[in-house]
Chains A and B, each alone.
Chain A
Amino acid sequence: MDFDLMVTSFPKLLGATVVTLKLLSASLFFGLFLGLFFAILRLNKNIFINRFAYGYSYVFRGTPLLVQIFIIYFGLGQIEYLRTTFLWVILKEPYWCAIIAFTLNTGAYTSEILRSAFQTIKPGIIEAGKSLGISNKIIFYKIQIPIAIRQSLPAYGNEIILMMKGTSLASTVTLMDLTGVAKYIISTTFKPIEVFIVAGGIYLFMTFIIHNVIKYLEKKYSFQ
Protein backbone atom coordinates (compact mmCIF):
# COMPACT_ATOMS: atom_id res chain seq x y z
CA MET A 1 0.00 0.00 0.00
CA ASP A 2 1.36 3.34 -1.06
CA PHE A 3 -0.43 5.90 1.08
CA ASP A 4 1.59 8.82 -0.27
CA LEU A 5 0.25 8.14 -3.73
CA MET A 6 -3.27 7.98 -2.38
CA VAL A 7 -2.85 11.35 -0.70
CA THR A 8 -1.24 13.04 -3.69
CA SER A 9 -3.69 11.67 -6.22
CA PHE A 10 -6.73 12.65 -4.17
CA PRO A 11 -6.79 16.36 -5.15
CA LYS A 12 -6.24 15.47 -8.81
CA LEU A 13 -9.12 13.04 -8.72
CA LEU A 14 -11.32 15.55 -6.93
CA GLY A 15 -10.61 18.07 -9.66
CA ALA A 16 -11.68 15.48 -12.21
CA THR A 17 -14.84 14.82 -10.24
CA VAL A 18 -16.01 18.29 -11.21
CA VAL A 19 -15.92 17.24 -14.87
CA THR A 20 -17.88 14.10 -14.04
CA LEU A 21 -20.49 16.09 -12.16
CA LYS A 22 -20.79 18.62 -14.98
CA LEU A 23 -21.35 15.84 -17.49
CA LEU A 24 -23.86 14.18 -15.22
CA SER A 25 -25.92 17.26 -14.45
CA ALA A 26 -25.99 18.50 -18.03
CA SER A 27 -27.05 15.16 -19.46
CA LEU A 28 -29.64 14.56 -16.75
CA PHE A 29 -31.10 18.02 -17.26
CA PHE A 30 -31.51 17.64 -21.02
CA GLY A 31 -32.34 13.96 -20.70
CA LEU A 32 -35.28 14.67 -18.40
CA PHE A 33 -36.91 16.93 -20.98
CA LEU A 34 -36.17 14.52 -23.80
CA GLY A 35 -37.53 11.66 -21.72
CA LEU A 36 -40.70 13.55 -20.89
CA PHE A 37 -41.17 14.46 -24.53
CA PHE A 38 -40.79 10.87 -25.71
CA ALA A 39 -42.93 9.53 -22.86
CA ILE A 40 -45.74 11.78 -24.06
CA LEU A 41 -45.17 10.57 -27.62
CA ARG A 42 -45.35 6.98 -26.39
CA LEU A 43 -48.76 7.65 -24.91
CA ASN A 44 -50.00 9.16 -28.16
CA LYS A 45 -52.65 7.13 -29.92
CA ASN A 46 -51.26 7.71 -33.39
CA ILE A 47 -49.46 4.48 -34.26
CA PHE A 48 -46.61 6.12 -36.18
CA ILE A 49 -45.72 8.57 -33.44
CA ASN A 50 -46.02 5.76 -30.94
CA ARG A 51 -43.80 3.45 -32.98
CA PHE A 52 -41.25 6.19 -33.49
CA ALA A 53 -40.93 6.81 -29.76
CA TYR A 54 -40.75 3.07 -29.11
CA GLY A 55 -38.04 2.66 -31.74
CA TYR A 56 -36.04 5.46 -30.18
CA SER A 57 -36.10 3.95 -26.72
CA TYR A 58 -35.51 0.44 -28.08
CA VAL A 59 -32.43 1.40 -30.05
CA PHE A 60 -30.86 3.47 -27.29
CA ARG A 61 -31.61 0.93 -24.60
CA GLY A 62 -30.52 -2.00 -26.71
CA THR A 63 -27.07 -0.78 -27.67
CA PRO A 64 -24.16 -0.13 -25.36
CA LEU A 65 -23.49 3.45 -24.35
CA LEU A 66 -19.95 3.05 -25.60
CA VAL A 67 -21.18 2.40 -29.14
CA GLN A 68 -23.39 5.46 -28.98
CA ILE A 69 -20.54 7.69 -27.87
CA PHE A 70 -18.28 6.32 -30.58
CA ILE A 71 -20.88 6.79 -33.29
CA ILE A 72 -21.45 10.37 -32.27
CA TYR A 73 -17.82 11.27 -31.66
CA PHE A 74 -16.05 9.35 -34.42
CA GLY A 75 -18.90 8.58 -36.77
CA LEU A 76 -20.74 11.84 -37.26
CA GLY A 77 -17.54 13.70 -38.06
CA GLN A 78 -17.33 11.61 -41.18
CA ILE A 79 -20.36 13.17 -42.83
CA GLU A 80 -18.94 15.96 -44.99
CA TYR A 81 -22.10 17.97 -44.91
CA LEU A 82 -22.11 18.22 -41.13
CA ARG A 83 -18.68 19.77 -41.13
CA THR A 84 -19.96 22.80 -42.99
CA THR A 85 -22.84 23.55 -40.66
CA PHE A 86 -22.71 25.23 -37.30
CA LEU A 87 -23.24 21.82 -35.68
CA TRP A 88 -19.62 21.03 -36.31
CA VAL A 89 -18.56 23.53 -33.66
CA ILE A 90 -20.39 21.35 -31.14
CA LEU A 91 -19.58 17.96 -32.60
CA LYS A 92 -15.83 18.38 -32.74
CA GLU A 93 -15.65 18.80 -29.00
CA PRO A 94 -15.53 15.49 -27.13
CA TYR A 95 -17.23 17.20 -24.19
CA TRP A 96 -20.37 18.03 -26.15
CA CYS A 97 -20.36 14.70 -27.93
CA ALA A 98 -20.34 12.93 -24.59
CA ILE A 99 -23.18 15.10 -23.34
CA ILE A 100 -25.23 14.44 -26.49
CA ALA A 101 -24.69 10.69 -26.20
CA PHE A 102 -25.52 10.64 -22.48
CA THR A 103 -28.58 12.80 -23.03
CA LEU A 104 -29.94 10.54 -25.75
CA ASN A 105 -29.24 7.48 -23.65
CA THR A 106 -30.71 8.72 -20.41
CA GLY A 107 -33.62 10.23 -22.37
CA ALA A 108 -34.52 6.77 -23.62
CA TYR A 109 -34.47 5.23 -20.14
CA THR A 110 -36.29 8.20 -18.63
CA SER A 111 -39.02 8.00 -21.24
CA GLU A 112 -39.65 4.38 -20.30
CA ILE A 113 -39.70 5.19 -16.60
CA LEU A 114 -42.12 8.07 -17.09
CA ARG A 115 -44.31 6.12 -19.48
CA SER A 116 -44.82 3.34 -16.98
CA ALA A 117 -45.47 5.95 -14.31
CA PHE A 118 -48.16 7.57 -16.45
CA GLN A 119 -49.73 4.22 -17.12
CA THR A 120 -49.95 3.32 -13.46
CA ILE A 121 -52.01 6.43 -12.67
CA LYS A 122 -55.47 5.21 -11.84
CA PRO A 123 -58.06 6.30 -14.43
CA GLY A 124 -60.31 7.28 -11.55
CA ILE A 125 -58.06 10.20 -10.72
CA ILE A 126 -58.31 11.59 -14.25
CA GLU A 127 -62.05 10.99 -14.28
CA ALA A 128 -62.38 12.79 -10.95
CA GLY A 129 -60.54 15.74 -12.45
CA LYS A 130 -62.80 15.70 -15.47
CA SER A 131 -65.95 15.58 -13.42
CA LEU A 132 -64.76 18.62 -11.51
CA GLY A 133 -64.72 20.44 -14.82
CA ILE A 134 -60.94 20.82 -15.03
CA SER A 135 -59.63 21.18 -18.56
CA ASN A 136 -57.57 18.40 -20.11
CA LYS A 137 -54.45 20.52 -20.20
CA ILE A 138 -54.62 21.37 -16.53
CA ILE A 139 -55.38 17.74 -15.63
CA PHE A 140 -52.20 16.80 -17.43
CA TYR A 141 -49.95 19.45 -15.93
CA LYS A 142 -51.37 19.66 -12.43
CA ILE A 143 -52.51 16.11 -11.79
CA GLN A 144 -50.86 13.59 -14.08
CA ILE A 145 -47.33 15.01 -14.12
CA PRO A 146 -46.93 15.43 -10.34
CA ILE A 147 -48.25 11.92 -9.70
CA ALA A 148 -46.05 10.46 -12.43
CA ILE A 149 -42.99 12.18 -11.00
CA ARG A 150 -43.70 10.78 -7.56
CA GLN A 151 -44.27 7.30 -8.99
CA SER A 152 -41.08 7.35 -10.97
CA LEU A 153 -38.80 8.68 -8.24
CA PRO A 154 -37.34 5.32 -7.14
CA ALA A 155 -36.67 4.19 -10.69
CA TYR A 156 -35.34 7.59 -11.64
CA GLY A 157 -32.95 7.48 -8.70
CA ASN A 158 -31.54 4.25 -10.10
CA GLU A 159 -31.22 5.89 -13.48
CA ILE A 160 -29.27 8.80 -11.98
CA ILE A 161 -26.84 6.41 -10.35
CA LEU A 162 -26.49 4.37 -13.56
CA MET A 163 -25.86 7.57 -15.47
CA MET A 164 -23.25 8.67 -12.98
CA LYS A 165 -21.43 5.45 -13.65
CA GLY A 166 -22.04 5.91 -17.36
CA THR A 167 -20.14 9.20 -17.35
CA SER A 168 -17.01 7.15 -16.76
CA LEU A 169 -17.23 6.20 -20.44
CA ALA A 170 -16.44 9.78 -21.35
CA SER A 171 -12.84 8.87 -20.60
CA THR A 172 -12.77 6.77 -23.78
CA VAL A 173 -13.18 9.87 -25.95
CA THR A 174 -10.19 11.61 -24.37
CA LEU A 175 -12.17 13.50 -21.74
CA MET A 176 -10.36 13.73 -18.43
CA ASP A 177 -13.14 12.86 -16.04
CA LEU A 178 -12.73 10.92 -12.80
CA THR A 179 -12.10 7.61 -14.56
CA GLY A 180 -9.91 9.25 -17.18
CA VAL A 181 -7.63 10.77 -14.57
CA ALA A 182 -7.65 7.55 -12.54
CA LYS A 183 -6.57 5.61 -15.62
CA TYR A 184 -3.86 8.15 -16.33
CA ILE A 185 -2.47 7.88 -12.80
CA ILE A 186 -2.66 4.08 -12.93
CA SER A 187 -0.78 3.90 -16.20
CA THR A 188 1.96 6.27 -15.02
CA THR A 189 2.49 4.79 -11.56
CA PHE A 190 1.46 1.15 -12.04
CA LYS A 191 -0.31 1.18 -8.70
CA PRO A 192 -3.89 0.26 -9.66
CA ILE A 193 -5.12 -0.77 -6.23
CA GLU A 194 -4.37 2.52 -4.48
CA VAL A 195 -5.85 4.66 -7.25
CA PHE A 196 -8.84 2.38 -7.49
CA ILE A 197 -9.55 2.76 -3.79
CA VAL A 198 -9.46 6.56 -3.98
CA ALA A 199 -11.45 6.90 -7.22
CA GLY A 200 -13.89 4.18 -6.20
CA GLY A 201 -14.33 5.91 -2.86
CA ILE A 202 -15.27 9.16 -4.59
CA TYR A 203 -17.78 7.36 -6.82
CA LEU A 204 -19.23 5.53 -3.83
CA PHE A 205 -19.58 8.78 -1.96
CA MET A 206 -21.51 10.30 -4.86
CA THR A 207 -23.75 7.24 -5.08
CA PHE A 208 -24.37 7.48 -1.37
CA ILE A 209 -25.42 11.13 -1.60
CA ILE A 210 -27.70 10.59 -4.61
CA HIS A 211 -29.26 7.58 -2.93
CA ASN A 212 -30.06 9.53 0.22
CA VAL A 213 -31.37 12.58 -1.58
CA ILE A 214 -33.78 10.38 -3.54
CA LYS A 215 -34.82 8.62 -0.36
CA TYR A 216 -35.53 11.97 1.26
CA LEU A 217 -37.54 13.16 -1.73
CA GLU A 218 -39.51 9.92 -1.77
CA LYS A 219 -40.43 10.41 1.84
CA LYS A 220 -41.28 14.05 1.35
CA TYR A 221 -43.57 13.45 -1.60
CA SER A 222 -45.13 10.21 -0.49
CA PHE A 223 -48.92 10.12 -0.50
CA GLN A 224 -49.38 9.31 3.15
Chain B
Amino acid sequence: MVFFFALIFTPLKLSKYKTLNLVGNFYTTVIRGVPELLVIYLFFFGGSGAIMYVASIFGYYEYIEINAFITGSMAIGIISGAYSTEVFRGAIQSIDKGQFEAAKVLGINKFGQFYKIILPQMLRLAIPNLSNVWQITLKDTSLISVTGLVEIMRQSYIAAGSTRDPLFFYSFAAVLYLMLTYVSMKLINKLEVRYSKGY
Protein backbone atom coordinates (compact mmCIF):
# COMPACT_ATOMS: atom_id res chain seq x y z
CA MET B 1 0.00 0.00 0.00
CA VAL B 2 2.69 2.41 1.08
CA PHE B 3 4.95 1.59 -1.82
CA PHE B 4 2.04 1.94 -4.15
CA PHE B 5 1.29 5.50 -3.08
CA ALA B 6 4.91 6.49 -2.81
CA LEU B 7 5.70 5.19 -6.26
CA ILE B 8 2.79 7.12 -7.71
CA PHE B 9 3.66 10.37 -6.07
CA THR B 10 7.44 10.42 -6.20
CA PRO B 11 7.54 10.88 -9.97
CA LEU B 12 4.95 13.60 -9.55
CA LYS B 13 7.19 15.55 -7.23
CA LEU B 14 10.14 15.16 -9.52
CA SER B 15 8.15 15.89 -12.62
CA LYS B 16 9.08 18.76 -14.84
CA TYR B 17 5.50 19.78 -15.27
CA LYS B 18 4.34 22.43 -12.84
CA THR B 19 0.85 21.06 -12.28
CA LEU B 20 1.99 17.53 -11.54
CA ASN B 21 4.63 18.94 -9.25
CA LEU B 22 2.01 20.95 -7.44
CA VAL B 23 -0.22 17.91 -6.92
CA GLY B 24 2.69 15.96 -5.46
CA ASN B 25 3.70 18.82 -3.20
CA PHE B 26 0.15 19.35 -2.06
CA TYR B 27 -0.21 15.69 -1.13
CA THR B 28 2.97 15.46 0.95
CA THR B 29 2.47 18.82 2.65
CA VAL B 30 -1.12 18.21 3.64
CA ILE B 31 -0.68 14.65 4.83
CA ARG B 32 2.51 15.38 6.71
CA GLY B 33 1.05 18.50 8.28
CA VAL B 34 -2.18 16.99 9.54
CA PRO B 35 -2.37 14.54 12.46
CA GLU B 36 -2.74 10.88 11.53
CA LEU B 37 -5.77 10.53 13.75
CA LEU B 38 -7.63 13.21 11.81
CA VAL B 39 -6.92 11.46 8.51
CA ILE B 40 -8.17 8.20 9.96
CA TYR B 41 -11.36 9.87 11.15
CA LEU B 42 -11.83 11.32 7.68
CA PHE B 43 -11.57 7.89 6.11
CA PHE B 44 -13.63 6.18 8.74
CA PHE B 45 -16.49 8.64 8.67
CA GLY B 46 -16.12 9.83 5.10
CA GLY B 47 -15.01 6.67 3.35
CA SER B 48 -18.31 4.92 2.83
CA GLY B 49 -20.01 8.19 1.99
CA ALA B 50 -17.49 8.89 -0.74
CA ILE B 51 -17.82 5.42 -2.21
CA MET B 52 -21.59 5.62 -2.13
CA TYR B 53 -21.39 8.92 -3.97
CA VAL B 54 -19.20 7.40 -6.67
CA ALA B 55 -21.52 4.39 -6.86
CA SER B 56 -24.57 6.62 -7.22
CA ILE B 57 -23.04 8.13 -10.33
CA PHE B 58 -23.01 4.65 -11.80
CA GLY B 59 -26.59 4.11 -10.72
CA TYR B 60 -26.12 2.04 -7.61
CA TYR B 61 -28.06 3.38 -4.63
CA GLU B 62 -27.81 0.67 -2.01
CA TYR B 63 -25.92 1.29 1.21
CA ILE B 64 -22.31 0.25 0.93
CA GLU B 65 -20.28 -0.43 3.99
CA ILE B 66 -16.57 -0.80 3.65
CA ASN B 67 -14.64 -3.01 5.91
CA ALA B 68 -12.77 -1.24 8.72
CA PHE B 69 -9.64 -3.08 7.68
CA ILE B 70 -9.75 -1.60 4.20
CA THR B 71 -10.39 1.95 5.38
CA GLY B 72 -7.69 1.54 7.99
CA SER B 73 -5.08 0.32 5.59
CA MET B 74 -6.07 2.99 3.08
CA ALA B 75 -5.58 5.70 5.69
CA ILE B 76 -2.27 4.32 6.96
CA GLY B 77 -1.12 3.71 3.39
CA ILE B 78 -1.82 7.28 2.37
CA ILE B 79 -0.13 8.69 5.47
CA SER B 80 3.08 6.74 5.26
CA GLY B 81 3.00 7.04 1.49
CA ALA B 82 3.53 10.75 1.97
CA TYR B 83 6.54 10.15 4.20
CA SER B 84 8.03 7.56 1.85
CA THR B 85 7.53 9.91 -1.07
CA GLU B 86 9.80 12.40 0.61
CA VAL B 87 12.34 9.67 1.37
CA PHE B 88 12.40 8.47 -2.23
CA ARG B 89 12.64 12.00 -3.55
CA GLY B 90 15.64 12.66 -1.37
CA ALA B 91 17.24 9.38 -2.43
CA ILE B 92 16.70 9.96 -6.14
CA GLN B 93 18.00 13.48 -5.95
CA SER B 94 21.17 12.34 -4.27
CA ILE B 95 21.99 9.97 -7.13
CA ASP B 96 24.77 11.30 -9.29
CA LYS B 97 23.62 13.12 -12.42
CA GLY B 98 26.21 11.17 -14.40
CA GLN B 99 24.18 8.02 -13.92
CA PHE B 100 21.23 9.47 -15.77
CA GLU B 101 23.46 10.83 -18.50
CA ALA B 102 25.34 7.56 -18.90
CA ALA B 103 22.09 5.69 -19.26
CA LYS B 104 20.95 8.14 -21.90
CA VAL B 105 24.19 7.79 -23.79
CA LEU B 106 23.79 4.03 -23.81
CA GLY B 107 20.41 4.53 -25.43
CA ILE B 108 18.36 3.05 -22.62
CA ASN B 109 14.81 4.28 -22.71
CA LYS B 110 13.20 6.22 -19.87
CA PHE B 111 11.44 3.19 -18.44
CA GLY B 112 14.56 1.07 -18.37
CA GLN B 113 16.53 3.95 -16.95
CA PHE B 114 14.24 4.27 -14.01
CA TYR B 115 13.71 0.61 -13.18
CA LYS B 116 17.09 -0.89 -13.98
CA ILE B 117 19.48 1.88 -13.05
CA ILE B 118 17.96 4.45 -10.76
CA LEU B 119 15.70 2.26 -8.65
CA PRO B 120 18.34 -0.21 -7.42
CA GLN B 121 20.68 2.61 -6.45
CA MET B 122 17.92 4.59 -4.88
CA LEU B 123 16.76 1.70 -2.71
CA ARG B 124 20.13 1.40 -1.07
CA LEU B 125 20.10 5.07 -0.14
CA ALA B 126 16.49 5.01 0.93
CA ILE B 127 16.60 2.00 3.24
CA PRO B 128 17.77 3.72 6.46
CA ASN B 129 15.10 6.39 6.13
CA LEU B 130 12.50 3.88 5.02
CA SER B 131 13.16 1.92 8.17
CA ASN B 132 12.27 5.03 10.16
CA VAL B 133 9.07 5.38 8.18
CA TRP B 134 8.36 1.71 8.79
CA GLN B 135 8.75 2.14 12.56
CA ILE B 136 6.46 5.17 12.53
CA THR B 137 3.90 3.31 10.44
CA LEU B 138 4.02 0.34 12.77
CA LYS B 139 3.14 2.59 15.66
CA ASP B 140 0.52 4.45 13.66
CA THR B 141 -1.41 1.24 13.18
CA SER B 142 -2.37 1.46 16.84
CA LEU B 143 -4.46 4.50 15.92
CA ILE B 144 -6.69 2.34 13.77
CA SER B 145 -8.15 0.93 16.97
CA VAL B 146 -10.33 4.03 17.23
CA THR B 147 -12.33 2.79 14.26
CA GLY B 148 -13.11 -0.47 16.02
CA LEU B 149 -10.85 -2.73 14.00
CA VAL B 150 -9.53 -5.47 16.24
CA GLU B 151 -5.75 -5.20 16.31
CA ILE B 152 -3.33 -5.25 19.22
CA MET B 153 -4.59 -2.03 20.72
CA ARG B 154 -8.27 -2.75 20.30
CA GLN B 155 -7.87 -6.26 21.64
CA SER B 156 -6.13 -5.01 24.76
CA TYR B 157 -8.78 -2.33 25.14
CA ILE B 158 -11.47 -5.00 25.14
CA ALA B 159 -9.49 -7.26 27.47
CA ALA B 160 -8.78 -4.37 29.82
CA GLY B 161 -12.44 -3.43 29.85
CA SER B 162 -13.74 -6.90 30.63
CA THR B 163 -11.17 -7.89 33.23
CA ARG B 164 -10.69 -4.44 34.78
CA ASP B 165 -6.98 -4.94 34.55
CA PRO B 166 -5.87 -2.20 32.17
CA LEU B 167 -2.36 -1.88 33.52
CA PHE B 168 -1.44 -5.46 32.65
CA PHE B 169 -3.04 -5.54 29.21
CA TYR B 170 -1.74 -2.19 28.03
CA SER B 171 1.74 -3.04 29.28
CA PHE B 172 1.47 -6.31 27.43
CA ALA B 173 0.50 -4.42 24.28
CA ALA B 174 3.48 -2.17 24.80
CA VAL B 175 5.77 -5.19 25.05
CA LEU B 176 4.28 -6.63 21.87
CA TYR B 177 4.94 -3.40 20.00
CA LEU B 178 8.48 -3.33 21.37
CA MET B 179 9.05 -6.85 20.09
CA LEU B 180 7.68 -5.92 16.69
CA THR B 181 9.93 -2.89 16.41
CA TYR B 182 12.91 -4.91 17.62
CA VAL B 183 12.39 -7.68 15.09
CA SER B 184 11.78 -5.31 12.22
CA MET B 185 14.87 -3.33 13.15
CA LYS B 186 16.98 -6.47 12.97
CA LEU B 187 15.48 -7.45 9.61
CA ILE B 188 16.03 -4.01 8.16
CA ASN B 189 19.63 -4.02 9.33
CA LYS B 190 20.13 -7.26 7.44
CA LEU B 191 18.51 -5.77 4.36
CA GLU B 192 20.74 -2.76 4.61
CA VAL B 193 23.83 -4.95 4.66
CA ARG B 194 22.54 -6.86 1.66
CA TYR B 195 21.82 -3.82 -0.43
CA SER B 196 25.10 -2.11 0.32
CA LYS B 197 27.09 -4.99 -1.12
CA GLY B 198 29.95 -3.64 -3.12
CA TYR B 199 30.06 -0.29 -1.34
Q: Does A38 contact B (CB under 8 A)?
A: no
Closest to B161 in A: A74
Q: Does B18 contact A (CB under 8 A)?
A: no
In the complex, are the beta carbons of A74 and B139 less than 8 A apart? no
Q: Does A110 contact B (CB under 8 A)?
A: no
What's the count of A-B pairs with C-beta under 8 Å? Answer: 111
Contact with B along A193-212 (1 / 0, CB 8 A): 10010011001100110000
Question: Which B26-62 residues sit within 8 Å CB-CB of chain A?
Answer: 29-30, 32-38, 41-42, 45-46, 49
Which residues of A have CB within 8 Å of B146?
172
Q: Does B167 contact A (CB under 8 A)?
A: yes
Task: Give the secondary structure class of A's interface.
Answer: helix
Q: Tell me which of A40-48, A63-71, A84-92 binds B.
A: A63-71
Q: Does B103 contact A (CB under 8 A)?
A: no
Question: Which B80-129 residues sit within 8 Å CB-CB of chain A?
Answer: none
Report how far A17 CA is from B140 CA in the complex, Å: 22
A residues lining the B interface (CB < 8 Å)? 58-59, 62-68, 70-71, 74-79, 161, 164-169, 171-172, 179, 182-183, 186-187, 190, 192-193, 196, 199-200, 203-204, 207-208
In the complex, are the beta carbons of A183 and B41 less than 8 A apart? yes
Report how far A159 CA is from B36 CA in the complex, Å: 15
Report how far A187 CA is from B45 CA in the complex, Å: 8
Most buried by B among A64, A65, A74, A167: A64
In the complex, are the beta carbons of B167 and A68 less than 8 A apart? no
Which residues of A have CB within 8 Å of B174?
59, 63, 67-68, 71
Given A70-B166, A74-B170, A172-B146, the answer on whether A62 and B45 have CB atoms closer than 8 Å is: no
